[in-house]
Structures are given as C-alpha cells and as structure tokens.
Amino acid sequence: MNKQIQFFLDEIESHIKKIPLDCEPKALYQPVSYCLGKGGKRIRPLMTLLACDMFGGEIKQAMPPALGLELFHNFTLMHDDIMDNAPLRRNHPTVHEKWDANTAILSGDVLFAISCQYISQVPDNILRQILDVFYKTVIEVCEGQQYDMDFESRHKVSAKEYLEMIRLKTAVLPAACLQTGAIVAGAENKDQEKIYRFGECIGLAFQLRDDWLDVFGQHEEFGKQSGGDIIANKKTWLYIHALQKGSDKQKHLLSEAYSDNYSAGDSEKVSLVKSIYEDLGISGIAQNAMKAYYDQAFNYLASIDLPDARKEDLAQLAEYLHHRKK
C-alpha cells in the first residue's frame, strides 16, 4: 500500500499504544491490553481516516472515533470468540482461553465502554450524528452474530438470508467507519450515504473472500488449515450455492457431510465437499459475485463528486482487500 496509507496505519498503531490501559484492577484491563496488542489489520480505523481525508477533513479530528471503532471491533472479537468457542485469534490464545470466559465477558464490556468514550470525542456539532451511526451499527452487529448462531442449528439457509447475515455481522461496521470519517469531514448526507454503501459492498465482498479463501486459498503458504468452515459445518456462501446448483446426488452428499452422523474424517470431508464445489464451478461463481460487489462499490465511489485523485487511497485499499490472499 502507498506511503500515505502506511503513514495512517503507523499513526493508528502509535495512538493505540497510547491508550491508557495500565489501570487497576489489572485482571480487568490486562486482557484488553493483550487483545489490542496482538495486532490486526486496523482496516476499520484506516477507513475512517481515509474517508475523512478524501472529503477534506482533518485527520486529527477523525482519530478518536477511528480508535473507538477499532476498540469496538476488538470488543466484538472478544465476545464472539467466547460464543464460537474459538481457541486462537491472530495466532494467539483468545482471551477466554488465556484467562476464562468471565474475564472475556467483563473485559469485553469495559472495552465497549471505552470505545464509546473514544467515539464521542468529536466536535459538539457532529456528536449526535456520530453516535446515531455508531449505536445503530452496534445493534446490527449483534443481530448479525445472532443470525450466524441461529443458522448453525438450521437445516436450510437461503443465499438471501446468508447475505443479510454477513451484511449485519461484517459489512455494516466498515460502512459505519467510512461514514464516520465522512461526518467528521463535514460531507453532505448524500455523500455519506454513498461512502456507506461503498463500505457495505466492500464488506460483503470481504466476507465472501473469507469464505472462498477458507477452501481455495493457499493454506500451506500461510499455515492455516484448509476447509475449516467445512469441518465446522458452516453454511457459507459456497455451501449454500453448491446446495442450490447441485444435482440431487450432490445435494445429498453435501447434506450428509454436514450432518451430525457423518463418520468419515475431517480431511476426507473437506476433499468431498471441495470436489463437489469444483464440479459445480463454485469457485468461479463466487469470484464473479465478489467482482460484482467490488464493481458496485466502485460505482458508489465514482458517483461521489470529487476529483479522482482524492479517491485514490480508498480505491487502493479496496483493491488490496479484493486481492488479499489471507
């Protein structure tokens, strides 16, 4: 990514390091510090800064809400990891694994409150607008997480339901990050709407790419297990479309593989499902869908009445996310 983006990322990182977390009681704040210290791509606060910059706002003013949004994102990870029983996050033990579930609950709660404090550090005249976007987004993210959990125990999930779930769980937060930057810069409502939609499309494509990488990514290169979603019986975009397009026999095999009484081993299961995906050309179909979301995103970006040069950084970030390999 270019120098400007790298500069913003460095700024974000140095501000995150300065968040005062060396507080008492230690058992409450150390897990917060641990969670924030384990990295992450910092894409969300970057989006806030880039949107602010694009609309000609002051980065300094966008930094506190940008940090707040990153803190909120980390709060969702802490709580989601409990619910998903995830042992690892960013190659380190999750908070509930390293400490326990109670710690992850309460440290998450305080992290949420701290995120609210940062988000409200904006000029008075935009405070309400910033809060309205933020609280609405928090509620939607919770709804998305609930749908995700609901879908685990459901037999059938339609493509439309799945897309709405990932829109809520994954896409509205980047969208809100961009809108927040736009609000700080004083962008008009119609432009706020456009940058929000841009973020939503990028977020949807981002999640589809996650689904795709899980099966078709170069796992050896990145030390990740191939087909983790398949092993966990996740009804991903790929699975749902394979179920739609498959022959009766393929449908039956897919359902069998995802049923509780499937008895073969994990790697056999991944091979079976992956081979059905390949027979049905699901990889290509998914890539087309991602491409369509990216095109839609770029249409929203193009429709904003600013010189192309101003949009370059955001376009570059979107390109990077589109082609990411992990």
Query: Rounded distance, CA 129 to CA 243, Å?
Result: 42
Q: Does 109 bind a copy of itself (CB under 8 A)?
A: yes
Q: By CB under 8 A, which span of 116-124, 185-193, 213-221, 296-304 interacts with a copy of itself?
A: 116-124
Q: How far is the CB of 234 from a copy of itself (least distance, A)?
A: 16
Q: Does 166 bind a copy of itself (CB under 8 A)?
A: no
Q: How far is the CB of 33 from a copy of itself (least distance, A)?
A: 14
Contacts of 110 (CB under 8 A, 6+ apart): 28, 29, 32
Other beta carbons within 10 angstroms of residue 261's beta carbon come to 5
What are the b/e assignments for 188-199, b being 16+ CB within 10 Å? Answer: eeebbebbbbbb
Q: Do 71 and 111 meet the contact criterion of CB atoms below 8 Å apart?
A: yes
Contacts of 66 (CB under 8 A, 6+ apart): 12, 44, 45, 46, 48, 49, 177, 180, 181
Q: How far is the CB of 319 from a copy of itself (least distance, A)?
A: 33
* Residues 68-107 within binding reach of a copy of itself (CB under 8 A): 79, 82-83, 101-102, 105-106
Amino acid at 284: G
Among 43, 23, 4, 8, smallest CA distance to 174 is for 43
Q: Does 149 bind a copy of itself (CB under 8 A)?
A: yes
* Total site size for a copy of itself, rule CB under 8 A: 33
Q: Does 25 bind a copy of itself (CB under 8 A)?
A: yes
Q: By CB under 8 A, which span of 22-30, 186-194, 209-217, 227-235 interacts with a copy of itself?
A: 22-30
Interface with a copy of itself (CB under 8 A), residue from 9, 19, 86, 116? 116
Q: How far is the CB of 302 from a copy of itself (least distance, A)?
A: 34
Indicate left, alpha or beta for 186 from its phi (over 0: left) and psi (-120 to 50: alpha): left
Give the binding site for a copy of itself (CB under 8 A). 24-25, 27-28, 79, 82-83, 101-102, 105-106, 109-110, 112-114, 116-117, 120, 124, 127-128, 131, 135, 138-139, 142-143, 145-147, 149-150
